Amino acid sequence: MIRRILQHDWRVLRADATVWVVGGVFATAIGYAMANGVRWTTFQRNALHAASAEEIDRYATIHAQIGVLERTGTPVAAFGDPRNPTQFGSRFGPRYAMLPPAPLAALAIGQSDLQPYYFKVSTDARETLTTATEIENPQRLLVGRFDLAFVIIFLYPLLILAVTHNLLSGEKEQGTLALAASQPVSLRTLATGKVLLRALLLVGIVVGFSSVALLANGVGLTAPGAALRFALWLAAVAAYGAFWFALALFVSSFGRSSATNATVLATAWLMLVVLLPSLFNLVATTLYPVPSRVEMIQAVRVASDEATSAGSTLLARYYEDHPELATGGAEQAMNDFNIIRVAVDEDVSRRARPVVDRYEQQLTRQQTLIDRLRFLSPAVLMQDALNDVAGTGAARHRHFLEQVDRFHAAWRGFIVPLIVQRARVTSLDQVPSFTFREESPASMAGRVVIAMAGLIVPALCVAWAGVRRLRHYPIVG
Amino acid sequence: MISRVARKELLEILRDGRFRVLSIAVLAVSLLSLAVGWKQYTDVAKQHQQAQAATRAQWLNQTKKNPHSAAHYGVYAFKPKSPLAIVDTGIDPYMGVAVWLEAHKQNEFKYRPAQDRTAVQRFGEMTAAETLQVLVPLFIVLMTFGTLAAERERGTLRQLLSLGVKSRDLALGKAAGIAIALGMVLVPAAVLGVMSLALTSDGGFLASSPTRAAWLVASYLAYFAIVAAICLGVSARARSSRLALVVLLTFWFANTVVASRVVADVASWLHPTPSAVEFQKAMDADLNDQQEMQRRLDRRKAELMRQYNANSIDAVPVAFSGVSLQEGEDHGNEVFDEHYGRLFDIYDRQNTIYQLGGFAAPMLAMRAISMGLSGTDFHQHRDFITAAEAYRRQIQRTMNADIMAHPVRGGAAYLAGRELWERVPEFQYDAPATGWVLRNTRWSFAILAAWLVVAIGWMMRPLPRAAI
């Protein structure tokens, strides 16, 4: 029976201009959004490529310089000597820690245009590295991007509403509903068939068009993890669609006119997609405001002033913490500016840490609150899911920052002993380098599945309530 | 006749349940966003004032040291908040809040507040400006889509026109009725907004902001008038009120949600920005141009020797290290002006395209005006960058001149003290005058005015017979 309903309804829909308009708008938006996303990931890849090319060039130059200096033994000022560990660690040798775009990054630009995706890691304090950010017109950051995530989160529900607001009321208004109901078919089957057809159509359009757009833009699924991400992406799109179809069915089951249904559904869209997310943001930033960073700047400055003036005592304490590094000539070393600087840097980090932690704690509190509130808005859930799938969300970035922290520690762990032991960098083979380790697919998939559950459970409840209500549907009058 | 139509329209709106619900919602959101804006403003403004005072104290309390060490120690410039940022935070969350002014380098503004927030912020912030630009138009759409279309559906439009009511008067009357209803929601919000501004003003608001606020209010009124006129025009011509709603919601969606994104793409496509790596690489190459530095130093040496009629640079009664430092600064300044100038010019060109986008979507014109008058657009950020950089250069000149004036012989170190630190005046920044802002946003004003004239003209045109 369902099949016959599908066939018949498809014939009716095909004759209606709405479906073609919806399909056309959708295809255009998806094509444009994909091209946009690919343009951004290409930009990022090029920037990372330029960065590593710069690093390779620089290392080739240093290598040659060191070779000449070692061979000829020409005296050279410390400032211009790449073998001097202080100079190497902060000027000559800093290496990039880079977060490459994930295989399907073009699907959702997410936070990737705002958060730094590479750091030039040197011996300088970690706090001074955090702000390497890409150049972008701030107004563009403010308005956001027209990417596939935007099309899915904002436009896709509207298009669903455009084809479902008159699910039964349309037939009723034409007078054909009574006719259909007089046949041996239950209203539930009829409604289910209609929803199913529209769902197949729209989900088919999104999946089809975006797969084509994906392939046309040269984004392959052969990269490691790409297939899993794509599968999750398809599932998330289907789950989000399911929620809106279920809502339309529920609203339809009240038996109001098409115009009323459209108004109610549009209001729901406005509440769930526009108002609630910005309200969540407001609540989170008001309850757990992250203070202006000027406080941190001042704290770091005060700490570094105090540390500098206490330089020589700090050095003594440094040797207490690292007795293995004291070479015996400690008194002589006292005067060594570089060693004092190392001690000062560590002290600044120690003193600034609590202040920096406060910012991170507030941000974590905001995120925890949003993680709870988001179950009230399918749009926020969907944003999280899509950002996770594309690898442009908070979690992957945090994962990257942890690796940057570790690399920075490794870098200092390499340079500082050389400074303290007054050794030289004579070979570049030992210099640590950074390789990004992708987060485990399981934890990424786990987050996406939780968000999807947040979409599917309410969808099922709403659909169930709708189907139950259909029993009382006023077929006439 | 117009007033009679207006009275009937107003009465109908007030009796409508939708109006009560929607107006309470809009009023609540406006007040909430204003309150939050006010709180954020007072918190941040205080933090920045304290920080500015602290950085000054640190500068003055430096121990005795070489002036160049003091130049390296430097000061911070913290961007002051404009009082009208309560209404529109503009690009503020996406721009750094502070810049370190040190020797040799024009640093970037650091710490964008947006980086300390979660991803939901990308759905849009609930500022007063956002409420006025996005939600109020939707409120107008929902209140007016049926105004004339429903009269036609009921058959009362034909009756009215047969009585000799001109369709122009009808449109004007309806518009007046809607305007009064809208005013009942927005006037209390505006009054509270002005009061909250007056509360925050530490004299600053009374000095400069009333003119800005007045322009802001007038522009928003014009924007609402445009939306209302479009709604009435569509409502008068649409076949059914349902079609009018669909058309107007599409207009709302395109105007407030889609247009700004598409225009931003077009702007970045026409005027692409370089990546940070490329930008830094190009600037470093110019900064490290040793030949240019050598040329400069040779020229200065020759000049000094001529001036003092000396045959060696050691015989000149100026410390050449100071001259050399200042030459380095001058060379750097040229490079910074060129590179940052080029980058900021790209932003400016992009922003002009954003403004021109107002031809397609009036919200873009309104947004530019709102950010401009609130002091939170890129023009004003750039003005502050320029002022902070000029102050940095002043510090460098003062320090280097002092080094030059104190030549030392035989490897002795020259140390300066508080007397020199005090010679650098405190950093003062005055927000630009309203006229300057109006000039920067002239395109948007022109576009908004054009929309107003065209929309009202269209609304008042006699209806085609078929539409009656």
Q: Shortest CB distance from B94 goes to which of A132, A141, A291? A: A141
Tokens of B220: 């928003």
Q: How close does chain B come to A53, measured CA to CA in Å?
A: 10
* Interface check A47 vs B, CB under 8 A: yes
The C-alpha atoms of residue B252 and residue B226 are separated, in whole angstroms, by: 12
Chain B partners within 8 Å of A310 (Cβ): none
A366, closest residue in chain B (CA to CA): B118
Does B126 contact A295 at a Cβ distance shorter than 8 Å? no
For residues A304-328, one letter each, b for 16 or more C-beta atoms within 10 angstroms of the residue's C-beta and e for the rest, the string is bbebbeebeebbeebbeeeeebeee
CB contact under 8 A, B130 and A278: yes
Query: Collapsing DSSP states into helix, strand and coil, what is residue A475?
Result: coil
Q: Torsions phi, psi of B99, nearest 5?
A: -135, 140
Query: So what's the pLDDT on residue A207?
Result: 85
B249 CB neighbours in chain A (<8 A) are: 266
Start-to-end CA distance of chain A, whole Å, equals 26
Q: 3-class SS at A118?
A: strand
Report the alpha-carbon distance of residue B277 to residue A297 in Å, rounded. Answer: 25
Which chain B residue is nearest to residue A129, measuring alpha carbons? B110
pLDDT tens-place string over residues B179-210: 888 888 888 877 777 777 776 655 555 555 78
Which positions of chain A have pLDDT values less than 50?
Answer: 330-335
**Residues of chain A with C-beta less than 8 angstroms from the C-beta of B349:** none
B96 interfacial to chain A (CB closer than 8 Å): yes
Structure confidence at residue B175 (pLDDT): 85
What is the reported pLDDT for A377? 95
Indicate the number of domains in chain B.
Answer: 1
Could you report how far apart the first and last alpha carbons of chain B are, in Å?
20
pTM: 0.89
Residue B165 contacts A where some CB pair is shorter than 8 Å: no
- Two structure tokens written together for B244: 């009018």
| String of DSSP letters for A158-219 | HHHHHHHTTTTHHHHHHTHHHHHHTSS--HHHHHHHHHHHHHHHHHHHHHHHHHHHHHHTT-
Q: By mean pLDDT, which of A176-180, A317-321, B46-50, B365-369 is the weakest?
A: A317-321
Give the model confidence (pLDDT) of B1-26 as tens digits. Answer: 788 888 988 888 888 877 888 888 88
Instruction: Give A3→chain B minimum CA distance, Å.
Output: 32
Residue among A34, A20, A23 at smallest CA distance from A390: A34
What lies within 8 Å, CB to CB, of A402 at 6+ separation is none
- Mean pLDDT of the region B362-368: 96
- Give residue-wise pLDDT tens across range B336-358: 999 999 999 999 999 999 999 99
Interface contact A277, partner B, CB < 8 A: yes
Q: Which of B36, B241, B268 sits opposite A140 (nearest CB)?
A: B268
HEC string of chain B? CHHHHHHHHHHHHHHCHHHHHHHHHHHHHHHHHHHHHHHHHHHHHHHHHHHHHHHHHHHHCCCCECHHHHHHHCEEEECCCCHHHHCCCCCHHHCCCEEEEECCEECCCECCHHHHCCHHHHHCCCCHHHHHHHHHHHHHHHHHCCCCHHHHHHCHHHHHHHCCCCHHHHHHHHHHHHHHHHHHHHHHHHHHHHHHHHHHCCCHHHHHHHHHHHHHHHHHHHHHHHHHHHHHHHHHHCCCHHHHHHHHHHHHHHHHHHHHHHHHHHHHHHCCCCCHHHHHHHHHHHHCCHHHHHHHHHHHHHHHHHHCCCCCHHHCCCCHHHHHHHHHHHHHHHHHHHHHHHHHHHHHHHHHHHHHHHHCCHHHHHHHHHHHHHCCCHHHHHHHHHHHHHHHHHHHHHHHHHHHHCCCCCCCCCCECHHHHCCCCCCCCCCCCHHHHHHHCHHHHHHHHHHHHHHHHHHHCCCCHHHC
Residue A95 backbone phi and psi in degrees, to 5: -115, 155
A370 touches chain B (CB under 8 A): yes
Cβ pair A278:B125 closer than 8 A:
yes
Residue of B nearest to A58 (CA): B281
Q: A282 CA to chain B: closest CA distance, Å?
A: 7
Which residue from B78, B119, B267 is facing A111, i.e. has the nearest CB? B119
* Residues 194-253, chain B, touching A (beta carbon < 8 A): 241-242, 245-246, 249, 253
How far does B77 lie from chain A, in Å, by closest CA? Answer: 10
Task: Indicate the residue of A137, A144, A275 with minimum beta-carbon distance to B268.
Answer: A137
Q: Is A144 on the interface with B (CB under 8 A)?
A: yes
Q: Minimal Cα–Cα distance from B91 to chain A, Å?
A: 6
The secondary element (H helix, E strand) that includes residue A96 is strand A95-98
Instruction: Tell whether B124 is within 8 A of chain A (Cβ).
Output: yes
Q: How far apart are the C-alpha atoms of B115 and B112, rounded to whole Å? A: 6
Nearest to B119 among A110, A302, A362 (CB): A110
Q: Which residue from B271, B249, B269 is spatially nearest to B261, judged by alpha carbons?
A: B269
State both tokens at B312.
Answer: 């060696």
- Give the Cα separation of B314 and B158 in Å (integer): 100
Taking the CA atoms of residue A364, residue A369, residue A372 and residue A376 in that order, the dihedral angle to the nearest 10 degrees is: -130
Helix (H, G, I), strand (E, B) or coil at A368: helix
pLDDT in the model for residue A454: 96
Helix A187-216 and helix A441-469, axial crossing angle in degrees, nearest 10: 150
CA–CA separation, A223 and B118 (whole Å): 29
Domain regions of chain A by residue span: 1-285+379-477
- CB contact residues (below 8 A), chain B span 350-389, against chain A: 350-351, 354, 377-378, 381
Strand partners, B106: B101
Q: What is the pLDDT of residue A313?
A: 65
- Name the residue in chain A with its Cα closest to that of B92: A138
pLDDT band for B394, please (50, 70, 90 cuts): very high
Count of CA atoms in the C-beta half-sphere (13 A) of A232: 29
What was the pLDDT predicted at A464? 94
- At B463 the pLDDT is 77
Interatomic CA distance for residues B353 and B343, integer angstroms: 16
**To which residue do tokens 């309560």 refer?**
B86
**Which of B118, B124, B125 faces A394 most closely, judged by CB atoms?**
B118
Q: How many CB pairs under 8 A join A and B?
A: 204
CB atoms within 10 A of CB B314: 9
- Closest-CA residue in chain B for A382? B120
Q: State whether B78 and A294 contact (CB < 8 Å).
A: yes
Q: CA-CA distance, A119 to A131, in Å (whole number)?
A: 8
Give the mutation candidate from B79, B101, B104, B117 for the A interface (greatest A CB count, under 10 A): B117
User: Residue A114's closest chain B neighbor by CA?
Assistant: B115
Contact A132/B at CB under 8 A: yes
Q: Could you tell me if A189 and A3 are in contact, meaning their C-beta atoms sit under 8 angstroms apart? A: no
Say which of B78, B275, B351 has its CB closest to residue A50: B275
Dist. CA B142–CA B121, nearest whole Å? 26
> Domain range holding B372?
2-467
B29 CB contacts (<8 Å, ≥6 apart)?
Answer: A275, B126, B131, B135
ipTM: 0.89
Q: Judge contact between B76 and B99, C-beta under 8 A.
A: yes
- The minimum CA-CA distance between B421 and chain A, rounded to whole Å, is 17
For testing contact with chain B, the best of A285, A400, A447 (most B CBs within 10 A)? A285
- DSSP code, position A293: T
d(CA B437, CA B372): 6
Taking Cα atoms as reference points, which of B82, B15, B9 lies closest to residue B380?
B82
